[in-house]
Amino acid sequence: MSKRRLLKKYATVWDPVARRSVRVHRKQATELLGRPLLPGEVVHHLDGNSLNNHPDNLLVMPSQRHHASLEQYLRRARRGQPTLFPDLLEAYRPATQGTLFQFVL
């Protein structure tokens, strides 16, 4: 698999205040949280589609370490492999009411 294939595409928009382009999912998360993202916070696309920036598809993770753990858990679940901590995803599972951003640790 080539390095080029591993790169994801992200939608960007021009931010006239910062005078640079910003990724739409990070801008969307900032607006929905009502505050800037903290250093180290990662915005995860729940369905894996980096171009789907719907608020219901975004989850703010406190760090890349949390994001990597969630990705590994989801990858193993898709393959039907057992996981060491089967209840790990419960902390990130969206509630029937509220917003996905309430799970920011």
Q: pLDDT tens digit string along 65-104?
A: 888 888 888 888 888 887 777 676 666 655 444 555 555 5
Higher-pLDDT residue of 104 and 38 is 38
pLDDT value of residue 36: 92
Q: Structure tokens of 23?
A: 């990724």
Q: Structure tokens of 76?
A: 């193993």
For residues 75 and 90, give the distance between their C-alpha atoms in angstroms, rounded to a whole number. 16
pLDDT value of residue 23: 94
Q: Structure tokens of 30?
A: 């900032």
Give percent above pLDDT 70 in the chain.
Answer: 74
The full set of domain ranges for the chain reads: 8-103
- Say if pTM beats, i.e. exceeds, 0.85: no
